[in-house]
Chains A and B, each alone.
Chain A
Amino acid sequence: MRDADDPALFRRVFTRSVALLSRRWGLHRLAEVEDAVQAALMTAVERWPRDGRPENPAAWVATVAHRRLVDAHRRQAAVVPNDVEPPLQPLSSGVLGREIGDEVLRMMFVCCDPAIPIESQLVFTLKVLSGFSVGEVAAHLFVSTDNVYKRLSRARDVLKSRRGLLDLGPEQYPRRLDAVVLVIYLVFTEGHLASAGDEAIRVELCREALRLGGLLAEHPVGRQPKVAALMALMHLHASRLGSRFDGVGELVTLEEQDRSRWDRSHRAAGLRWLAMSAEGGTLSRYHAEAGIAAAHAMAPTFAETDWERIAACYALLERVAPSPWHRLNRALAVAELRGPEEGLALLADLTPAPQVTGSGAWAAALADLHRRAEHPASFVAYRRAALDRAPTDAVRRLLERRFDA
């Protein structure tokens, strides 16, 4: 995609400039660097329409931001001597050419510091690596801006305390890879939730996850089967993003989706990545999830879905990442294969936590199983709970449609 058409151009430029400059100026000056880059982007807003857009927008912005930081430090140094010598030399074109891509990747690993809690890693990634503002991050994650500020400052405090360690030792990269993969996966799953919020925002998150995953996958440190599996599952899920709503904007079930609207290039990319992930001795949860997504993507119709394979993948998922949700999904797959009674039987010995059984999604799944098994009392009870707890009107309407058919 040409730069000119990239709706996320400024965010990408922001991320690249911040990554490059925080390497030069130090992580403890990250907030200053972000401010300087933001100001440089404002200058770009005014200058580029007049002077034409530069060949290398990130280099232009980084240079302007760097100069701003140099000026600020010169003024400050006159009053307060700096304890650490900031880099007052101009940026060389060599630096700007090659290093920017590497710098963004380095930043990804830096922010997945084990001392930073996962929620803070996620927020930090969205702010610094995806270039969203605090308000935008809050909207994307359905939390308050206060919450975002808190999580961000947690991350920043840890990074400040790491002052002096500008370089990650080479042994840190493989150690942190799992965390980086997890954060990208979390960005994607936030984006993929169909149940609430503005669809456009959500699609943006999925795109970001694909972009960050792509950067990782292209780099030697990211050439691992689990990274390929993550890329596979993201592309395969993304291929279906456009078809979850019908022509009048109502949510539709998987069964009802118009498969001709599934995106072919995402599907093809997903299957290529899936092939690449079939290496090495261990299967990650991403492999299992990619397998499930692939089974759906490859079924020309709902009726031809390979539920056996899906059930097997959920069984695997249960083993590597135990969760009642995986058992539930396996039960639903088994129900497709051998009827709702068999599905319900799988759930019999399960005692999930109240926040699981009390959720709308759990109630909806059980309502559907009991409806198909013709257990009227259970169906009515779960149906009521599902409708009461539906997260949005769109979901409630979908459920009503399905239950009252």
Chain B
Amino acid sequence: MPTYLCLQRSLPADPPSEKPSPDEMQAMYAKFGAWMETYADQLVDTGGKLGEGRLVRAEGQVDGPFVEVKELVGGYMIVSAETLEAAIAVAEACPGLVRPGSGVEVIAIDKPG
């Protein structure tokens, strides 16, 4: 099955959403666990949030970040699905991923052959 890269995007133009309360976070935790179970077969790599890094260029390494990377791409995961639409469905079902202030870019990974 084809695989898709899902990049969590922070969307600062959206109005800021309220920070969830502990009770709301517990509900998200339960939903997240349930989501992972439901789509277990399709979650190739549940990835994680992105942290510090470096830009490696021919001229040498540059200590970043020049741009606050995690504000553009908060995290990633890799999903396998028959079609882009099917991959989007998995990503959309992930609790908290698509909400005011956050979206997800779902990108096909072209493999040779």
Chain A positions near chain B (C-beta within 8 angstroms): 7-11, 13-14, 35, 38, 41-50, 131-133, 135-136
A49 with B32: CB separation less than 8 A: yes
Cα separation A7 to B48 with both chains bound (whole Å): 26
- Which of chain B's residues has its CB closest to A137's CB? B21
User: Which residue in A8, A44, A50 is a CB contact (below 8 Å) of B48?
Assistant: A50
Q: Which of B3-48 contact A (CB under 8 A)?
A: 18-26, 28-29, 32-33, 36, 46, 48
B48 with A46: CB separation less than 8 A: yes
B99 within 8 A of A: no
Cα separation A49 to B25 with both chains bound (whole Å): 13
User: Which residue in A7, A35, A45, A135 is a CB contact (below 8 Å) of B21?
Assistant: A135
13 contacts between A and B (CB under 8 A): A9-B26, A38-B22, A38-B25, A41-B22, A42-B25, A45-B32, A46-B32, A46-B48, A49-B29, A49-B33, A133-B23, A136-B21, A136-B23
CB distance from A207 to the nearest CB of B (A): 12
CB distance from A6 to the nearest CB of B (A): 9
B29 with A11: CB separation less than 8 A: no
Cα separation A135 to B20 with both chains bound (whole Å): 10
B29 with A44: CB separation less than 8 A: yes
Residues in B whose Cβ lies below 8 Å from that of A45: 25, 28-29, 32, 96
- Which of chain A's residues has its CB closest to B47's CB? A50
A41 with B25: CB separation less than 8 A: yes
Cα separation A102 to B48 with both chains bound (whole Å): 35
Cα separation A9 to B46 with both chains bound (whole Å): 24
Q: For this complex, into which size category does the number of interface residues on chain B fall?
A: 10 to 19
Cα separation A44 to B28 with both chains bound (whole Å): 10
Residues in B whose Cβ lies below 8 Å from that of A135: 18, 21
CB distance from B37 to the nearest CB of A (A): 9
Residues in A whose Cβ lies below 8 Å from that of B19: 35, 38, 133
User: Which residue in A11, A42, A46, A49 is a CB contact (below 8 Å) of B23?
Assistant: A11
A46 with B49: CB separation less than 8 A: yes
Residues in A whose Cβ lies below 8 Å from that of B25: 10, 38, 41-42, 44-45
Residues in A whose Cβ lies below 8 Å from that of B32: 45-46, 49
Give the top 4 A-B pairs by smallest Cβ distance, nearest first.
A133-B21, A10-B26, A10-B22, A14-B22
Cα separation A62 to B4 with both chains bound (whole Å): 35
Residues in A whose Cβ lies below 8 Å from that of B24: 133
Cα separation A41 to B22 with both chains bound (whole Å): 7
Residues in B whose Cβ lies below 8 Å from that of A50: 36, 46, 48
Given A46-B48, A50-B46, also A132-B29 (CB < 8 A)? no
CB distance from B17 to the nearest CB of A (A): 12
